[in-house]
Amino acid sequence: MSSKKVLVLCTGNSCRSIIAEAVLKAEGINAVSAGVEASGRVNPNAKKVLEENGIWRDEFYSKTVDEVIDEDFDLVVTVCDNAKETCPVFPKKTKTIHIPFEDPDGKEYEEFIKTFEEIYKKLLPIVKKNLIS
């Protein structure tokens, strides 16, 4: 599955998409994340939850979709409604799926743990299924 490439897209690319990228990479999936309006920073609580689960990498950073638009992806996953509505058209016809998660930004750390667990339980199996089919 590592030969297939996944883009996880959200609005700010500071929480949900970074967490999803990390979870997918930890499972051996070639993943990248980006934001339609990237914040330019990784939320400290997103980093903390990834560190506590042993999957933080210093390569994770907040980037705009413009930085990755020319890459070939086998699957694009939008994780928020804003990203779904503003998802750009990629040069190559790319399968896009929507798996929304509530934004933990600005909330207590427990919400980041909840988001991490939801991404692991919900997003990961759907992405694996879509990469196989």
Asked if 67 and 34 count as a contact pair (C-beta separation under 8 A), the reply is yes
Residue type, 68: V
The catalytic residue among 80, 83, 123, 127 is 80
- Measured between alpha carbons, how far is 11 from 94 in angstroms, rounded to an integer? 19
Q: Which of 26, 87, 97, 124 is catalytic?
A: 87
Which of 8, 45, 12 is CA-nearest to residue 123?
8
Query: Does an H or E element contain 125, and which?
Result: helix 124-132
CB 9 within 8 A of CB 76: yes
Residue 81: CB atoms within 10 A of its CB come to: 12
15 is catalytic: no
CB 124, CB 105: distance < 8 Å: no
**Which position among 6, 7, 9, 10 bears the catalytic label?**
10
Q: Which residues are catalytic?
A: 10, 80, 87
